[in-house]
Amino acid sequence: MHQLKVLILGPASFSTTLNELRPFLKFNTLRGNQPFKYDAILFHEDALNNKEDNKIIINSNIIKICASIKKLSSNNFDAFLHLPSSLGEINTVVESAAAKKIFSNNSSIEIKKYLLNKNEKKLSKNENAIILTEKEIQLLELFLNNRNPLSKNKILSSVWKYSSDADTHTVETHIYRLRKKINDKFSDENFILNTKDGYSLWRKEINLQKIYLQVSTEKELLDQKKEKEVLKEKKNKLFV
C-alpha cells in the first residue's frame, strides 16, 4: 500500500498537533479543499460545525475518520479516533480504516453481470463461482479499465511487464484458459471477445450503435427545425 494522503479538517490546534507528529505518522497529513486528491479525511468533530468543512465531509466518497472526545452516533463515518489519542492509536485507526475500505472495495467489483472478489480470488454469478489465479484477476482488471480492445503486446506489457517483442503465446494461453473456465461454469462464450483489434469485454458494435443513434437523433432534430422554418416562411408569404 502506498503512503496514504490524509486531508486534515478541524480547528488550528488539531492541525498543529498532527503536523508536529508528522515525522512519526505512517501517512501524509495535508490541508486543502479538494478531497479527490486524498485517500482519507481525518477531521475533528468541530469540523462538522464549520460550513465549508462539513460540505467537504458530506460530499466526499473517500475514507472518513472522525476524531472526537465522545463517539458520535453516525453511520456516515468509516472510523472513530477517540481523543485524546496516542501516536500508535492514530496510526492504527487510519491504517485499519484504509485496509477495511480496500478489502470492502475488492470484495464486490462488478464486471458485466458478474462479481469479482479479489480477496477470495473468485468470479461469481448468482450461486455459481470459479476460482481465479492472480494473473487472471489482473487480466480482468485490465479489460475492465479499458473500453477499447487491447492487443496481445499491450496485455503482455501491462500484466507480465514484458517488452513488445516478447512471446505473445503467454497471453493467448491464459486467455484461453480463462475463457474455458467461464464457459464451462457459466456457459458464456462471449465474456472475453476477440476481434481484429484485440481482446475486450465489450462489443464494439454497441459503441457504434450509440454513435448511430446520436447522429440519427441530431439529423431528426435538424429536419424538424428545417420543417418549422419552411412552414413559417410559407405562413409569412400568406400575409404579403
pLDDT value of position 40: 93
Percentage of the chain exceeding pLDDT 70:
78
Count Cβ atoms within 10 A of the Cβ of residue 25 and give its class: 0-12 exposed, 13-18 middle, 19 or more buried.
middle
- 201, 193 in Cβ contact below 8 A? yes
Compute how many other C-beta atoms are within 10 angstroms of the C-beta atom of residue 123: 25
pLDDT value of position 132: 96
pLDDT in tens, 62-101: 999 999 998 766 668 899 999 999 999 999 999 999 999 8
pTM as predicted: 0.62
Q: Exposure pattern of 80-108 as b/e (b: 16+ CB <10 Å)? A: bbeeeeeeeebbebbeebbeebeeeeeee
Cell numbers describing residue 143: 479489460
pLDDT value of position 150: 94
Report the alpha-carbon distance of residue 109 to residue 22 in Å, rounded.
34
pLDDT value of position 76: 80
pLDDT value of position 209: 45
239 or 38, higher pLDDT: 38
Least confident of 77-86, 91-100, 108-117, 213-222: 213-222
pLDDT in tens, 148-205: 999 999 999 999 987 655 677 889 999 999 999 999 999 999 999 998 889 999 876 4
pLDDT value of position 120: 94
Q: Where are the domains of the chain?
A: 4-106, 109-200, 207-240
Report the alpha-carbon distance of residue 182 to residue 176 in Å, rounded.
10
Cell numbers describing residue 100: 477495511
CATH, range 4-106 = 3.40.50.2300
- 109-200 under CATH 1.10.10.10, yes or no: yes
pLDDT value of position 196: 87
Report the alpha-carbon distance of residue 118 to residue 227 in Å, rounded.
56
Cα–Cα nearest to 98, from 2, 31, 21: 2
What average pLDDT does the chain have?
Answer: 84
Which residue type is seen at 27?
F
